[in-house]
Structure 1
Amino acid sequence: MTTRATVLQILRDAPEPLPIAEVAARAGVHVNTVRFHLEALTDSGLVEQLRAEPTGPGRPATLVRAVAAMDRTGPRTYLPLAQLLLDDVAAGPRPKEHARRAGRRWGRRVAEEVYADHPEPVDGLIDALGELEFAPERTSSTELELHHCPFLELTTPTGGLVCAIHLGLMQGVLDGAGSDVRVERLDPFVRPDLCCARLSAAS
């Protein structure tokens, strides 16, 4: 068990809030180490801090206790869920069109955040793709190279629905920017380690 998990378990097992020094003693680690982990657990909503009742002069002690909540930092298994949803789209009419539309909606939401910092549309698209772990590289005014696919396990050798979603995502980001540049197509796996997005020149 990690130190952070140990700290959380100590608090979950405690019938009442504990002083930080007591948590450190029970965990067998330095109090500053416990403070570090408590800060992260508090940010995750798993722990809350409160003041002890004053017992005399001076600042009341800080107490900590676990919050009844699922651990948002714990293991995740999204792959089966994603595959289930893709299978459902694939079974319906015009699945690639459906997937691309979903991607465009996603892209427009992404654009709302991206273009606060990037007035140039393609720069904003590159930044968005980088944040999503596509490892983009602009090689010309009409081409973006994508050196990683964060959804690789769900793709097919010819791309499939995942690539349709990705194409729609890029189109939606540029739509959200009001850009004249368009992503005309996405060529999946032009090499085993590379996909290419083809852009239209700005009018």
Structure 2
Amino acid sequence: MGQPAYSAISSYSRVQILHQLQEHPARTVQDLTEATGLHANTVREHLQRLIEAGYVVVETEHRTTRGRPRVLYSAATGTDAASSPVAQRKARDAARRGDLMRRVLPWTDTPDPAGAPLPAEVLHQLDALVDDLEGAGFDPIVDEAALTVDLTPCAHAQTHATHRDVLCAVHLGLMQSVLSEARGPLAVDGMNPSCDPAECVVQLSRA
């Protein structure tokens, strides 16, 4: 893989904003401006892009005192408190496409390690995850038996090598959000250790 494809997270400025929101939810534009050093208008533009991608949710502060309520931004987590309608729709669309592919190409329906077909909810989570990763410029290889997602080589890590820790944290958070929005037993367990900065294999776990 060469350069990362243009997507909501192809800009490191948007990755910075997402990192802030993953670490500290319910933040204002002013909060993000101070944390990133970006201009307020630039932050607003990036936030809109992230909202449209289903990665950020917005709410209006509930005030019990006088004053204009603040607009608060949080990273979408797929939980009831921070679920994105955009991400939910993307997960449903990915599941429909996956079901269609499995009907047309039944040999793609991979069994679990015990030999039984994977439950629909697991398949739909993987459909949503692969769809989102491909949209972000990755070329994921999923091992359903080992529950791993191989993203090697990671073009993002190569492009922003000095920010690898932040990039990995944000991408893992996004993967967990996608799995949660798709509603199923799979969750992100972590990234398998490697000495190669371009190597990225994410381990999933199944409740």
TM-score, with normalisation over the residues of structure 2?
A: 0.44
- The structure having more radius of gyration, on CA atoms, is 1
TM-score, with normalisation over the residues of structure 1?
A: 0.45
Higher relative contact order (CA 8 A, sep 6+): 2
The structure in which a higher percent of residues are strand is 1
